[in-house]
Chain A
Amino acid sequence: MALDKNQIAKRISKEVKNGMYVNLGIGIPTLVANYIPEGIEVVLQSENGLLGMGPFPTEDQVDADMINAGKQTITTLPGSSIFSSADSFGMIRGEHVDLTILGAMEVSEDGDIANWKIPGKMVKGMGGAMDLVASAKNIIVAMQHTARDGSSKLLKECCLPITGLKCVRKIVTDLAVLEVVDGGFKLLERAPSVSVEDIKAATEGNLIVEGEIPEIEV
């Protein structure tokens, strides 16, 4: 059984450790915030200039001057801070943010990531993605293992325009948890009832399988 988006987010939440400063991308990564276990204190960074992103506001708290990087209205928390875009990317580029979780269209076995542009389609821009992947200490990617037509998104080399080179450390897909190591994608965990053979078939890049592969706890 392949994981749904929430189950992918829940699995990624286990990678979040106490005391981390974390940047969450749009889509599945945003859902990770819902699963951070009690007792784990993390500070969420929003690259438009906020550390300590709080929940959505109630109707009477809505403030047009308080938004996140997805342009959603947001609140602060006790201990939050606000700063300029230059400071925000200074803390990203300076590797002060511990963990970046983002989506991807393709990842290569070298850890290259493509997630900003599809040739022939409208180009919306990379926003902060290139800065984040170029400088993050640790990057976890949330993505679907294959495209709708069944073709693999975990490739020998990315086909789509690159966002960053050799930067992805870990990948959580609907089928598996993988680590990018020398020589390819190392399989760490598999989705319940999904076989190693299924994952091999869905992975174009080199898949490294060592020993028994446990199932992901869902």
Chain B
Amino acid sequence: MINKTVKNAQEALQGVQDGMTFMLGGFGLCGIPENSIQELLRLGVKDLTCISNNAGVDDFGIGLLLQKRQVKKMISSYVGENAEFERQLLSGELEVELLPQGTLAERIRAGGAGIPAFFTPAGYGTEVGEGKESREFNGKMYLMEEWLKADFAFVKAWKGDTAGNLIYKGTARNFNPMMATAGKITVAEVEELVPAGELDPNMIHTPGIYVQRIFQGEKYEKRIEQRTVRQA
């Protein structure tokens, strides 16, 4: 079996450059590639276009890259939890393209699946549709949306094997499986890396063909945004 293992985040991010387009998995702070983000901070690459459902919070996730002014453009569906983001957006330092969440997910999926465009009803008749081709099917109007691809996709899984196969846990799955398919180079970081053969092939969520480099993350903070509990 082809071995996709690299030593650490440093090795996994070799070739990352200024001006590149990245995909970063996660929903809120759930399932984000924490170790790859730390390495992007250390490398200091800038003028980045980041495709990610959200933009982190001020002091965690993509928010850290925003603090260091490394991001030129965000392509997201919801960016509400970040004061620095707001400041940069209002001052014109940061560009943002907001997309309906399902459109964002499907554009990424399309990128990985070799589908250059598709039609969706989401956003028809709204400012999302401005400048986009629309067409009627069975009496309903749809917008044409194009695929998204990235120079690097950074995804986070629970377990992975040396062949690059991935298993996600809970709702930390979210955007990670599609993004894994849409990177020219997909970097997967996992909580537990095991030898090929140890994961049940029936349980694999992302087949290793999509993953070019895999490593076990040094540490995971897994910060919780809204800790809500009930009495036992």
Query: Is A89 located at the chain interface by the 8 A CB criterion?
Result: yes
Q: A65-B31, A84-B105, A125-B77 are in contact. List 18 more A-B contacts (CB 8 A).
A: A46-B171, A48-B28, A49-B173, A60-B232, A64-B30, A64-B222, A71-B30, A71-B225, A72-B228, A73-B227, A85-B27, A85-B104, A93-B121, A126-B78, A131-B122, A134-B120, A134-B121, A162-B125
Residues of A within 8 A of B109 (CB): 86
Decide yes or no: A65 and B170 within 8 Å by CB, A86-B109, A125-B79 being known contacts. yes
A-B residue pairs in contact (CB < 8 Å), sample of 13: A55-B230, A57-B229, A64-B222, A71-B27, A71-B225, A72-B228, A73-B226, A82-B171, A84-B178, A85-B53, A85-B102, A130-B123, A164-B124
Contact yes or no, B172 A84, CB < 8 A: no
Contact yes or no, A47 B101, CB < 8 A: yes
CA distance A200 to B80 in the complex (A): 36
Residues of B within 8 A of A63 (CB): 170
A12-62 with Cβ < 8 A to chain B: 46-50, 55-60, 62
**A interface residues (Cβ-Cβ under 8 A, vs B):** 46-50, 55-60, 62-74, 82-86, 88-90, 92-93, 112, 122-131, 134-135, 161-165
Contact yes or no, A70 B125, CB < 8 A: no
Contact yes or no, B30 A161, CB < 8 A: no
Contact yes or no, A131 B101, CB < 8 A: yes
Decide yes or no: A134 and B123 within 8 Å by CB, A57-B230, A64-B224, A65-B31 being known contacts. yes
Q: Please list the 7 inter-chain residue pairs (A to B) with the smallest Cβ-Cβ separation, ordered nearest first.
A: A89-B102, A124-B80, A131-B102, A65-B170, A64-B222, A130-B100, A125-B78
Query: Is B204 located at the chain interface by the 8 A CB criterion?
Result: no
Contact yes or no, A84 B225, CB < 8 A: no
Query: Is B202 located at the chain interface by the 8 A CB criterion?
Result: no
Residues of A within 8 A of B223 (CB): 64
**Residue of A60, A66, A71, A126 touching B98 (CB-CB under 8 A):** A126
**Residue of A70, A130, A135 touching B128 (CB-CB under 8 A):** A130
Residues of A within 8 A of B192 (CB): none
Residue of B80, B172, B231 with highest tally of chain A CB at under 10 A: B172
Residues of A within 8 A of B170 (CB): 63, 65-66, 82
Expressed in whole angstroms, the minimum distance between the Cβ of A158 and any Cβ of chain B is: 11
Expressed in whole angstroms, the minimum distance between the Cβ of A38 and any Cβ of chain B is: 19
CA distance A40 to B188 in the complex (A): 42
Query: Is B176 located at the chain interface by the 8 A CB criterion?
Result: yes
Residue of A124, A130, A163 with highest tally of chain B CB at under 10 A: A130
Residues of B within 8 A of A128 (CB): 77, 100-102
CA distance A110 to B154 in the complex (A): 43
CA distance A136 to B161 in the complex (A): 39
Residues of B within 8 A of A65 (CB): 30-31, 158, 169-172, 222
Tally the A-B contacts, defined by beta carbons under 8 Å.
Answer: 175
Decide yes or no: A122 and B102 within 8 Å by CB, A67-B28, A86-B177 being known contacts. no
- Chain B contact-residue range equals 35 or more
Expressed in whole angstroms, the minimum distance between the Cβ of B107 and any Cβ of chain A is: 10
Query: Is B127 located at the chain interface by the 8 A CB criterion?
Result: yes
CA distance A127 to B173 in the complex (A): 17
Query: Is B189 located at the chain interface by the 8 A CB criterion?
Result: no
CA distance A58 to B228 in the complex (A): 9
Contact yes or no, B226 A123, CB < 8 A: no
Residues of B within 8 A of A92 (CB): 102
Residues of B within 8 A of A71 (CB): 27-30, 225-226
CA distance A131 to B169 in the complex (A): 25
Residue of A70, A71, A124, A129 with highest tally of chain B CB at under 10 A: A71
Decide yes or no: A67 and B226 within 8 Å by CB, A89-B106, A134-B121 being known contacts. yes
Expressed in whole angstroms, the minimum distance between the Cβ of A137 and any Cβ of chain B is: 13
Residue of A65, A86, A124, A135 with highest tally of chain B CB at under 10 A: A86
CA distance A161 to B230 in the complex (A): 37
Residue of A55, A64, A73, A122 with highest tally of chain B CB at under 10 A: A64
Contact yes or no, A48 B100, CB < 8 A: no
